[in-house]
Structure 1
Amino acid sequence: MSLIAVGACYVDTILTTPHYPGEDDKLRATSISRRRGGNCPNSLEVLQQLVAETPANLQFPLNLVAILPARSSVASQQIRTAFEPHVSLDHCLYREEFEEPASSYIMKSQASGSRTIVNYNELPEMTLEEFGRIVDGLKGPAAWFHFEGRIPDVTLSCIRHLRNRFPDTKVSVEVEKPGREGLQELVEEADVVFYSKTWAQHNGYNSANECVQKQLSLTRKASLLCCTWGQDGAAALETSTRNLVHSPAYCPAGFQVVDTIGAGDTFIAGMLYGLICKKKGWDLSQKLSMANHLAGTKVAQEGFAGLGRVLREYCTT
């Protein structure tokens, strides 16, 4: 089975500062870094490391569907270099009239460990017709599609088209941004749902357990509901058996919050790996624990490098 992740691909500029500046303040950053970002690309970056640690008979192809600027642009060349050959960009859509990628400007506070993000994106979003051409051209083994809940109305149409074309395809969706209309409708069409803490709190839930338990009555097709809750860990609910599992957050020895950017994306990568590669080898508790190990390790380091080691460590304990 192959994985096709559908979402925005950003180029992130990250400024680390001692604290957040006040309005009209001037503050010197302690460091600056630039890297490829975006929810689905972040998850794929972690997944390619996990796949590299996996026996050949359990590996699965990774693919990204994203809107990128012109093929010849510096940004698109950098993004391809960062991913290929381990993640295929064959299904990406290039906007040849644009040179600038979708961009995020991120300020990380050393005092609080939190980050503030400002996005800029002038690239026209993917249409249903464009997605339909991608789906209609697919060949090979069955695919698992993972969608960032980005443009809910278009994403909903894409999922329905996918269901009509390939009824047995597995679909997972990420429900992250609070107040974004249409996300609940996506939940009703998905096999697996990943809820963020911010979305859950915005909708009146006080814990990860409460979120998945109350969302159970609002889902029609989902077999698994997952919700992350930062330092309070994560919960997962199998809808057919109502088996609810809670896993505490993982804190490595000497734990300190270093970089929270992409922690949720890392958790999703861990769960997708467990669901696709270890669907019969690990029970739900093991899948959830592994995803938390990944996310906790990621928060304690800068960036995503070396996270494949978590799988080795987890499988030998």
Structure 2
Amino acid sequence: MALVAVGACYVDTILTTPHYPGEDDKLRASSISRRRGGNCPNTLEVLQQLVAQSAPASKTQLNLIAILPAKESIASKQIRNAFEPQVSLSHCIHREEFQEPASSYIIKSQASGSRTIVNYNELPEMTLEEFVQIADRLGTEIGWYHFEGRIPDVTLACIRYLRQQYPDIKISVEVEKPGREGLQELAKEADVVFYSKSWAQANGYSSAEECIRKQSSQTRNASFLCCTWGQDGAAALEPFTERLVHSPAYTPKGFKVVDTIGAGDTFIAGMLYGLIFNGNSWDLSKKLNMANRLAGTKVAQEGFNNLGSVLEAFF
């Protein structure tokens, strides 16, 4: 199975502070770290760990399509070194006139365990024409496309192109940002939809179960809907069988929130692993429980290292 994830790739600078600063305050950070970020890159980083635990590398291809600065820029080289050879970046689009990557500056509060993110990105977004060239180059060797849900109008056109030219390909989308118009249209076109709590609440839903039940009437193409709800866990629905499952958040004894950055991306990695690589051998509950455990393990540690070990409890 070959998968392509389409989304932005960021370089994150993370400042850990005792608490959030007030306006015009001066506050000393307790630590600083830098790492590669972005929804799809985070998902691929975790997914490649899971695949390495259970599937022959020769039978699995993970690819990223993202906008990057000049190919020989320091940032692009660092991003390639962080991924390859497990994840291919050969289909990324380089903006040769730019040297700086898309960047996120994250303040992480030790008092609350939450984080505030400020993004900066001057790289021109991907166009439909650029995507079509890549999709045609890849052709039928790709079985699954996962879209972050950025620039919904372009993403919608990309999905419709795949539907027309490669009807056997499976498509998943992430519906996350509540203020981003056009995400509902993306959900209508996808086979698998991942909803965030913030998007669900902004659209009037009071629980993960309510979100996916009501969304099932608006997503006629979908075979699987999933919504995360933070400390209240997540719910998943198979519309064709009307089977709905809820899984509580993974909070073992002694659990402590350490790093919530990328928790949702980690959850999606777990679900994609279950759907793509264990579609028939794992039931819905097992897929959801594994994804929740993966996300909970990530929240209790810094970064994404060694998350593949979570699989040991499921084989």
Q: Contact 1:142–1:169 (CA<8 Å) still a contact in 2?
A: yes
Which structure 2 segments of 5+ residues have no match? none
Q: Contact 1:59–1:277 (CA<8 Å) still a contact in 2?
A: no
Moved >4 Å (runs of 4+): none
> Could you list the per-position Cα deviations for residues 165-204 of structure 1 after superposition, in whole angstroms to 9, with x for gaps in the alignment?
1001000000000021000000110000000000000001
Q: Letter of the aligned partner of 2:128 in structure 1? A: L
> Could you list the per-position Cα deviations for residues 15-53 of structure 1 after superposition, in whole angstroms to 9, with x for gaps in the alignment?
000000000000000000000000000000000100110
Number of matched pairs: 315
Name the CA distance, whole Å, in 1 between partners of 2:163 and 2:213: 26
Which structure 1 segments of 5+ residues have no match? none
Structural mapping, 1:132-211, within 5 Å: 132-139=132-139, 141-211=141-211
Question: Do residues 221 (structure 1) and 215 (structure 2) align?
Answer: no
Q: 1:58 to 1:221 in 2, by over 3 A?
A: farther
- In the alignment, what sits opposite 2:294? 294
Q: CA RMSD in A?
A: 1.1
Name the CA distance, whole Å, in 1 between partners of 2:86 and 2:135: 21
- In the alignment, what sits opposite 1:282? 282
Give the C-alpha shift of residue 135 in structure 1.
0.7
Q: Secondary structure at the match of 1:186?
A: helix
Give the C-alpha shift of residue 57 in structure 1.
8.2
Q: Contact 1:237–1:243 (CA<8 Å) still a contact in 2?
A: yes
Could you state the TM-score of these two structures normalised by the residue count of structure 2? Answer: 0.98
> Could you list the per-position Cα deviations for residues 220-269 of structure 1 after superposition, in whole angstroms to 9, with x for gaps in the alignment?
20000000000000000001011000001011331000000000000000
Q: Secondary structure at the match of 1:218?
A: coil
Q: 1:278 to 1:181 in 2, by over 3 A?
A: same
Q: Secondary structure at the match of 1:137?
A: helix
Name the CA distance, whole Å, in 2 between partners of 1:312 and 1:141: 30
> Could you list the per-position Cα deviations for residues 109-164 of structure 1 after superposition, in whole angstroms to 9, with x for gaps in the alignment?
00000000000000000000000000111146342000001100000000001111
Name the CA distance, whole Å, in 1 between partners of 2:157 and 2:21: 42
Give the C-alpha shift of residue 90 in structure 1.
1.0
Name the CA distance, whole Å, in 1 between partners of 2:299 and 2:54: 23
Name the CA distance, whole Å, in 1 between partners of 2:58 and 2:258: 32
Give the C-alpha shift of residue 314 in structure 1.
2.9
Could you state the TM-score of these two structures normalised by the residue count of structure 1? Answer: 0.98
Q: Contact 1:247–1:292 (CA<8 Å) still a contact in 2?
A: yes
- In the alignment, what sits opposite 1:47? 47
Q: Contact 1:67–1:94 (CA<8 Å) still a contact in 2?
A: yes
Q: Contact 1:71–1:94 (CA<8 Å) still a contact in 2?
A: yes
> Could you list the per-position Cα deviations for residues 255-304 of structure 1 after superposition, in whole angstroms to 9, with x for gaps in the alignment?
00000000000000000000000001100100000000000000000000
Q: Contact 2:91–2:134 (CA<8 Å) still a contact in 1?
A: yes
Q: Contact 2:143–2:168 (CA<8 Å) still a contact in 1?
A: no
Name the CA distance, whole Å, in 2 between partners of 1:42 and 1:254: 26
Q: Letter of the aligned partner of 1:190 in structure 2? A: A
Question: Do residues 124 (structure 1) and 124 (structure 2) align?
Answer: yes
Name the CA distance, whole Å, in 1 between partners of 2:14 and 2:131: 31
State which drifts further: 33-42 or 57-66: 57-66
Name the CA distance, whole Å, in 1 between partners of 2:59 and 2:292: 21
Q: Contact 1:252–1:297 (CA<8 Å) still a contact in 2?
A: no
